[in-house]
């Protein structure tokens, strides 16, 4: 299936890393250790909010509905309802394993026939690697790509020819004769966009915002062609850093040109050998890569379980470092605000309480939650009622809720200044394009109400209405929905691998663009479709999408 940027932390981090190591212990100091959708709206009406009659389904406090937790999952926190555990039905597991077995069996059968034919007719079957060279690809990886991914590659990497707004123009493609590549035909399918992370609808700029972004490009150029530590910092970057720091309630912030690189380059600059990183088992691969590159010891705790985290913290502090048994130089607990593959919101308050008890630093990745959660869009901290001073490091991106690119790190002024000098994302990578930095600043100002309007607050409320309406609609129609209320990501289980291409193609045929995900991005028997809601969607859009989705899924009554 399509590669996806998610992995599980496991084992110790690799030794060595490019970033200059700076001791951050003093900096992070704490005391102690229809069958078809209607046509797209006209340009003048695109992105308008839904009518005021749109039903609002209030979230349970604190908003959890259903998760993908194992039976050993511990739920901690006062006033928190018991999580509904997700288990795969035995018939779904059986048919899914059988489906993969058939695909693999016929794949190896075809490979055996091709090998025999290559011996008889070598000119018709060129060698996979030049004579004397080792293959560039791992055997099973290449097999999986040829015999499985190529069959359904039309469901992934779809090119578009419009802004990723509420409606999107998807370019039509056809497969090559050997199914190894796709060719654009020139046709276009206009579909409702439930696949982009356009949470607050900023992908389609307002005219006022567009003019200011264009002015920034004309003034500072398309790119700075330099890292932040050289000549890559402009007034626009400083303005964005001040704006985001004030928005999340921290002293200072550092803006980095790529969201993935924010995690993968900041973590090695913060912690190194002798340190301990305790990571949620479902954390994003950018966190995994950063943790491994730091050289620190890595341990994982059960997803969203404060009890599991406490058990690991207690044992790790008591045992100390491997072999030497010396105390850890520092302990860093890393979680996400919103887990995009599961649609689940972090149970942050009990996790923070545990970290306080054991004097562990808290690092929260708000890539998907900033702007999308909380009454004023301030993310998972506001949603869970956690003060900003209780979280040591706050990370986020501008790619989801703000219609831009890049990411940020917010914390104490000493920490941020250290990262400016030690983080490779700041010292080596080209800085964020000035136009993109301006777009993020304008979106932030609108969310904060600094533009003198209520547009930002209206977008946040509209997103919450849309997300809850769509989630409840799917549940009432019998779909197996994962995640929490208020989450703009709504996953629905598909299980069988054959349903992945079938659902994606049928939806696009009915003018609905969705994202389907399978192994290795998910466990083998937990393939799913992810619906990404936006404030730009109208009630009519979502009602049509519900009809298409449920008819295509053919859920149980």
Task: Encode pLDDT of 300-321 as tens digits.
Answer: 999 999 999 999 999 999 999 9
Q: Answer with the residue of higher pLDDT: 505 or 116.
A: 505
Using an 8 Å Cβ cutoff, are 531 and 504 in contact?
no
- Kind and range of the H or E run holding 528: strand 527-532
Distance CA 255, CA 257 (A): 7
295 has pLDDT over 50: yes
Structure tokens at 227: 């890292």
- Tell me which of 144 and 334 has the higher pLDDT: 334
Average pLDDT over residues 323-330: 93
Q: Is residue 491 within 8 Å of 530, Cβ to Cβ?
A: yes
Write down the pLDDT at residue 36: 56
- Quote the mean pLDDT of the chain: 84
Instruction: Please list the residue range(s) of the chain that carry CATH number 3.40.640.10.
Output: 210-448
The SS3 call for residue 56 is: coil
Query: pLDDT at position 304, please?
Result: 95
Q: Supply the pLDDT for residue 47.
A: 42
Pull the structure tokens for residue 438: 């301006």
In CATH, which of 3.40.640.10, 3.90.1150.10, 1.10.260.40, 2.60.120.10 is domain 210-448?
3.40.640.10
Mean pLDDT of 114-134: 73
Give the pLDDT of residue 6.
41
Give start-end residues of each CATH 3.90.1150.10 domain in the chain: 64-89+160-164+167-200+457-553
Residue range 388-400: mean pLDDT, rounded: 96
The reported pLDDT for the residue numbered 10 is 39
384 pLDDT above the threshold of 80: yes
Q: What is the pLDDT of residue 18?
A: 41
H or E segment to which residue 547 belongs:
helix 539-553
Question: The pTM is what?
Answer: 0.82
Helix, strand, coil shares of the chain, percent, nearest 5, are: 40, 15, 45
d(CA 516, CA 98) in angstroms, rounded, equals 20
CATH no., domain 64-89+160-164+167-200+457-553: 3.90.1150.10
């Amino acid at each position: 299936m399509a590669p996806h940027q998610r992995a599980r932390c496991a084992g110790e981090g690799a030794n060595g890393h490019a970033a200059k190591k700076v001791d951050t212990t003093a900096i992070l100091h704490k005391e102690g250790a229809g069958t078809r959708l209607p046509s797209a709206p006209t340009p003048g009406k695109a992105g308008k909010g839904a009518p005021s009659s749109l039903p609002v389904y209030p979230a349970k406090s604190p908003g959890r509905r259903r998760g993908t937790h194992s039976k050993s999952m511990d739920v901690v926190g006062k006033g928190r309802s018991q999580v509904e555990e997700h288990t795969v039905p035995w018939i779904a597991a059986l048919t899914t394993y059988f489906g993969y077995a058939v695909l693999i069996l016929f794949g190896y059968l075809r490979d055996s026939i091709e090998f025999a034919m290559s011996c008889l007719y070598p000119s018709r079957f060129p060698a996979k690697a030049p004579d004397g060279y080792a293959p560039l690809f791992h055997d099973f990886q290449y097999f999986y790509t040829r015999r499985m991914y190529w069959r359904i590659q039309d469901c992934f990497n779809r090119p578009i020819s419009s802004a990723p707004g509420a409606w999107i123009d998807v370019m039509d493609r056809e497969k090559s004769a050997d199914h190894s590549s796709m060719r654009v035909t020139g046709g276009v399918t206009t579909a409702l966009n439930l696949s982009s992370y356009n949470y607050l609808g900023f992908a389609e700029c307002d005219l006022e915002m567009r003019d200011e972004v264009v002015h920034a490009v004309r003034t500072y150029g398309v790119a700075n062609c330099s890292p932040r530590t050289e000549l890559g910092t402009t007034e626009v970057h400083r303005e964005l850093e001040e704006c985001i720091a004030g928005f999340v309630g921290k002293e200072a912030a550092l803006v980095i040109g790529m969201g993935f690189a924010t995690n993968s380059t900041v973590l090695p600059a913060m912690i190194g050998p002798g340190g301990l990183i305790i990571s949620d088992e479902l954390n994003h691969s950018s966190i995994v890569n950063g943790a491994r590159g730091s050289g620190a010891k890595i341990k994982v705790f059960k997803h969203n379980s404060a009890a599991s985290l406490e058990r690991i913290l207690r044992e790790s502090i008591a045992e100390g470092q491997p072999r030497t048994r010396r105390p850890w130089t520092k302990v860093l607990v890393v979680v996400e605000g919103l887990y995009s593959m599961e649609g689940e919101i972090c149970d942050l308050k009990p996790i923070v309480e545990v970290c306080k008890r054991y004097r562990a630093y808290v690092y929260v990745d708000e890539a998907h939650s900033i702007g999308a959660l909380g009454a004023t869009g301030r993310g998972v901290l506001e949603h869970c009622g956690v003060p900003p001073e209780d979280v040591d490091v706050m990370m986020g991106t501008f790619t989801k809720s703000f219609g831009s690119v890049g990411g940020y790190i917010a914390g104490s002024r000493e920490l941020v200044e250290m990262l400016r000098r030690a983080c490779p994302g700041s010292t080596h990578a080209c800085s964020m394009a000035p136009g993109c930095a301006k777009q993020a600043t304008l979106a932030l100002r609108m969310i904060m109400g600094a533009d003198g309007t209520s547009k930002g607050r209206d977008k946040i409320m509209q997103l919450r209405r849309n997300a809850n309406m769509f989630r409840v609609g799917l549940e009432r129609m019998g779909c197996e929905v994962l995640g929490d209320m208020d989450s703009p990501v709504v996953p629905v289980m598909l299980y069988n691998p054959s349903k992945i291409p079938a659902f994606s193609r049928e939806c696009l045929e009915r003018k609905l663009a969705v994202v389907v995900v399978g192994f290795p991005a998910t466990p083998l028997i937990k393939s799913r479709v992810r619906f990404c809601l936006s404030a730009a969607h109208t009630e009519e859009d979502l009602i049509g999408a519900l009809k298409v989705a449920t008819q295509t899924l053919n859920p149980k009554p």
